[in-house]
A and B are shown apart, each in its own frame.
Chain A
């Protein structure tokens, strides 16, 4: 019993105070795949907190320049603020250098911006996709404090563990052996990639309550690359701002709303 007395005396000295939690988790999934001369980056449009759907349309994928698209997932308020800050830095760069920042430079910028908040992080998983200066499709993925890597494909967010192993299998051909005298392609064609992206999100929607409602797929095409396969696609819209550079498209699709 003396212990109990001590415990209550101790708790009177320091009244139990509920600390304000500055973070929450808003669900959703994002995903990006790089092709030889294009990249595709997508996210669902559901925003939720706990078991409540806040809205069925809150974009998580944002066009930064004609050759860079950024997807953010995690705590929505941090995500929106982070995109806002990245865009401001890109605008300053444009004013200083009279051109858009190259993709790999944006990637490094994002890493320094995330790391600058190492001790009060933006609770956001970032995926950056676009076209490098050499015309190749690229995907960069980040953790909330700025560790980053260039890859061919990456999924993040609530559905990461459902989607990533599927992509390992279908993009990297993991655990698959090519037939005799053949080899697996290093990059897949655009229409295959788009089908995989849509299938990934339909699967994640089927099995994860935080994924669904709508799908936004951004496609960035390298300079001078023919459109083949993309023109006339249902729900497609071009969002390019300049005439003779890379081109950006967005494809909007419905996902199950339950």
Chain B
């Protein structure tokens, strides 16, 4: 569907066919050398995680993600941890390709060991970890070989909250509420309404209920999500990632729905 009314009724542009609805004549691809078949660069995500949500609250940052790893439309692994703490002050959460995410975790582990070995009394702060991640992501996109993820970085160090985003293009930004994937369309409006302007007053309890409610809405509408999730808190006490929790959901309304699937009467 073309959402620009001024394009409606105009002759179609056969050079751009967003949804591949028309057999388009394709030119022969770029010429390559003898080894090109052996090199795999551009990829697509295979085993994927869906939305990650994060908000600022009174004492720090709270982040949430479900535990599903999808293989296309198949719910392949139902107990995968997508929140990961990096050092004392930081938690990262990722959506997108989970093998790329595990590679990123190993990169971070390596960096943390290196920093620990320096024994200089300095530990990496959340913004430094975000900077590192954004450099890795940007450099991989520049090699046309991206790490297919959207990552949230949440942290608390020296009394300061930190919350930022980085994705496969190296795009970065920061805000008091962040969400990746479908969460950016479905949960972000809910999070903004609940959090913006209340960052310094929201209690841990309130923050948790905002995130849980958003995860519930996502579970109702995002077909690649799961009703099992984890919540991470990052505050003066350090980082904490909860055990998996199950969402209580209400499906009785489904009885009343008619006209879909096998139920046509």
Instruction: Annotate B149-173 by CB proximity to A: 1 below 8 A, 0 otherwise.
Output: 0000000000000000100011111
**Cβ contact of A52, chosen from B146, B174, B185, cutoff 8 A:** B185
Stretch in A19-27, A214-222, A231-239 with 4+ CB within 8 Å of B: A19-27
Q: How near does chain B come to A224, taking the closest CB pair, in angstroms?
A: 38
Contacts of B262 in A (CB 8 A): none
> Can you name the residue of chain B whose Cβ is closest to the Cβ of A49?
B171
Within 8 A of B (CB), among A1-21: 7, 11, 14, 16-20
Within 8 A of A (CB), among B4-41: 23, 26, 28-29, 41
Bound: A77/B139 CA distance, A: 11
- Indicate which residue in A16, A20, A75 contacts B42 across the interface (CB closer than 8 Å): A20
Selected interface stretch from A55-63, A90-98, A135-143, A169-177: A55-63
Residue A80, interface by CB 8 Å = yes
* Residue in chain B with minimal CB distance to A81: B138
Known: A19-B42, A56-B175. A14 touches B169 (CB 8 A): no
CB distance from B40 to the nearest CB of A (A): 11
B3 and chain A: residue at smallest CB distance: A51
Query: What's the Cα separation between A16 and B23 when bound, in Å?
Result: 12
The chain A residue sitting closest to B43, CB to CB, is A20
Q: B173 contacts A54, CB within 8 Å? A: yes
A7-B23, A52-B185 known; A76 and B172 CB under 8 Å?
yes
- The residues of A that contact B42 with a CB separation of less than 8 Å are 17-20
Closest CB in chain B relative to A228 CB, distance in Å: 37
- State A121–B183 Cα separation when bound (angstroms): 32
- The verdict on A200 contacting chain B, using a C-beta distance below 8 Å, is no
Residues of chain B within 8 A (CB-CB) of A75 are 169, 171
Given contacts A47-B173, A55-B175, A56-B175, contact A18 B185 (CB under 8 A): no
Using A20-B42, A22-B141 as known contacts, say yes or no to A14 and B173 having CB atoms under 8 A apart.
Answer: no
Chain A residue numbers with a CB within 8 Å of B172 are 76-77, 80
User: Smallest Cβ distance from A119 to chain B, in angstroms?
Assistant: 13
- Could you say which residues of chain B place their CB within 8 Å of the CB of A57? 174-175
The A interface is mostly helix, strand or loop, or mixed, namely: loop
Q: Which residues of A contact B134 (CB under 8 A)?
A: 77
When chains A and B are docked, how far (Å) is the Cα of A53 from the Cα of B28? 38
Q: How far is the CA of A3 from the CA of B174 in the complex (A)?
A: 53
**B184 at the binding interface (Cβ < 8 Å):** yes
Q: State A160–B146 Cα separation when bound (angstroms).
A: 31
CB pair A22–B169 under 8 Å, yes or no, is yes
By beta carbon, the residue of chain B nearest A16 is: B26
* A11 contact set on B, CB distance < 8 A: 26
Give the complex CA separation of A23 and B144 in angstroms.
11
Taking the closest CB of chain A, its distance from the CB of B202, in whole angstroms, is 19
Q: Is B44 at the interface (CB under 8 A from chain A)?
A: yes
Partner of A54 from B146, B165, B185 at Cβ < 8 Å: B165
A52 touches B184 (CB 8 A): yes
Find out whether the CB atom of B175 lies under 8 angstroms from the CB atom of A24.
Answer: no
Interface 1/0 per residue, A60-71 and B, CB below 8 Å: 000000000000
Find chain A residues with CB under 8 A from B173 CB. Answer: 47, 54-55, 58, 76
Residues of A within 8 A of B169 (CB): 22-24, 75, 77
- Are B138 and A55 in contact (CB-based, < 8 A)? no
Bound: A55/B29 CA distance, A: 38
| Subset of 26 A-B contacts with CB under 8 Å | A7-B23, A11-B26, A14-B28, A14-B29, A17-B42, A20-B41, A20-B42, A20-B141, A20-B144, A20-B146, A22-B142, A22-B144, A22-B146, A26-B171, A47-B173, A49-B171, A54-B165, A54-B173, A55-B174, A76-B172, A77-B138, A77-B141, A77-B170, A77-B171, A81-B138, A120-B142
- B residues sitting closer than 8 Å to A (CB atoms) are 23, 26, 28-29, 41-44, 134, 138, 141-142, 144, 146, 165, 169-175, 184-185, 188
Residues of A within 8 A of B (CB): 7, 11, 14, 16-20, 22-24, 26, 47, 49, 52, 54-58, 75-77, 80-81, 120
A-B complex: 10 closest residue pairs judged by Cβ atoms: A77-B170, A55-B173, A55-B175, A20-B42, A77-B171, A54-B173, A22-B141, A58-B173, A47-B173, A77-B169
